[in-house]
Amino acid sequence: MTPENKIHLMTPGPVSVHPEILKALARPMVHHLSQAFNSSLERVLKKLKILFETNQPVYLHTSTGSGAMESAVVNTLSVGDDVLVVESGKFGERWGDICVSYGLKTDRLKVKWGEAVDPSELKQRLLTKKYKALLTQACESSTGVLHPIEELGRVCREFPDTILLVDGISSVGAVKLPMDAWNIDVLVTGSQKALMLPAGLAMIALSEKAWKRTALSNLPKYYWDLKEEAANIKKGRTRFSSSVSIVRAMDVALDLVLSNGLDYYLKHTEKKSLATRRACEIFGLKVFAQRPSPTLTAIELPQGIAGETIIKELEKDCNIFLAGGQDHLAGRIIRIGHMGYIEDEDTVYVLDKLFSLLVKKSPNTFSFDKKESALKTANEILSGK
């Protein structure tokens, strides 16, 4: 297959699926209460604890990642609770919107898009009220920012009434995010990001402190009720029909991610992002995020170049799928994902085509010479030189 024929899905979710995982997805169906499936499920749940770096059980919801965000809220909070949401982009807004729709008293700590939350400012806010929860993203995928979760966990530890809910949908499995060591009380993720699966499964784990909250929580819930799910898992089954195909594929995915240890796999994502960032800088593009996440790189486009056009042309001519900006960033940034099954030559191919198109659109700003030295550096970083 020539690179032009291959599909280059390099958005920050969904991502390209590893061929071994595709094979698992094609296996014939078995019943979700069969012994054959039960052993897959058991293996997956055991390996997810290693992925989350937690001693607590990890549970599955048959939903996208946002379902687990809603589950996190309805299982741990109660009517009238005060909550504080870090809002630094689209996904921070989503946390806030979920809280508001369940009638929680929702305060938003607004952070300029592209910036990370300041732990000391956050601490000052937590001192103003008895917040029951602090909700944040680990990586805000709309801007490419990685928030300092370890520091936020340390701050939250000083507030015994506050639990820390982290949306790790574009982080778990791609960025260091040890749930127990960093004092995270609820951690959620989704299948179509770092685990290189299709969308359709969400994962959630609760700390001991968060489990105590579930006994008090009075928000309405039926499908998301984790106490019910936990009772069923104890009996060796999921409460509802399992997504048999994706669970079996996750079994394979987790082996790929964990085979040389999680940290080894994280370095792989880190390397792709570093190569991309350095290449963009050499070529003359500015990285948008002040504290960039290794899972995606958002780059600013110079005035006069519309991001939508670039994205459309790359899809049409090169089979490359990148993401644009949302809201006021629409047209102004392009987001390149580093999660999923991406080989080194795929990263270089995408940068090559993107830079070539930019030279064509704006020859006064960009040059082929800069492109060549940018790609050379990217290759060196990727090959570990």
Residues engaged in binding ligand PLP (CB under 6 A): 12-13, 64-66, 91, 137, 139, 141, 167, 169-170, 190, 199
**Cβ at position 184, least distance to ligand PLP in Å:** 14
**Cβ at position 91, least distance to ligand PLP in Å:** 4
**Cβ at position 66, least distance to ligand PLP in Å:** 3
CA nearest to 84, candidates 31, 146, 156 = 156
Determine the length of the chain. 385
- Residue 25, judged by CB atoms within 10 A of its CB (0-12, 13-18, 19+), counts as middle
**Cβ at position 190, least distance to ligand PLP in Å:** 4
Q: Which residue's CB is nearer to ligand PLP, number 245 or number 377? A: 245
Q: Which residue's CB is nearer to ligand PLP, number 272 or number 371? A: 272
Question: Which residue in this structure is represented by tokens 């008293």?
Answer: 105
Q: Specify the DSSP class assigned to residue 304.
A: T
Q: Which residue's CB is nearer to ligand PLP, number 297 or number 377? A: 297
Q: Which residue's CB is nearer to ligand PLP, number 167 or number 229? A: 167
E strands, the chain, in order? 8-9, 58-61, 82-87, 105-110, 133-137, 139-140, 145-146, 163-167, 186-190, 202-206, 286-287, 296-300, 320-321, 323-324, 333-337
Q: Parallel, antiparallel, or unpaired: how do β-strands 333-337 and 296-300 relate? A: antiparallel
CA nearest to 60, candidates 171, 204, 189 = 204
Question: Are 92 and 170 within 8 A, CB to CB?
Answer: no
Question: Are 73 and 96 within 8 A, CB to CB?
Answer: no
**Cβ at position 253, least distance to ligand PLP in Å:** 16
Q: Which residue's CB is nearer to ligand PLP, number 146 or number 275? A: 146
**Cβ at position 220, least distance to ligand PLP in Å:** 20
**Cβ at position 110, least distance to ligand PLP in Å:** 17
Q: Which residue's CB is nearer to ligand PLP, number 71 or number 276? A: 71
Q: Which residue's CB is nearer to ligand PLP, number 91 or number 349? A: 91
Q: How far is CA 52 from CA 11, 58, 166, 171, 181, in A?
A: 23, 8, 12, 10, 10
Q: Which residue's CB is nearer to ligand PLP, number 93 or number 344? A: 93
**Cβ at position 357, least distance to ligand PLP in Å:** 26
Question: Are 194 and 257 within 8 A, CB to CB?
Answer: yes
User: What is the CA angle 11-12-16, rounded to 5?
Assistant: 60
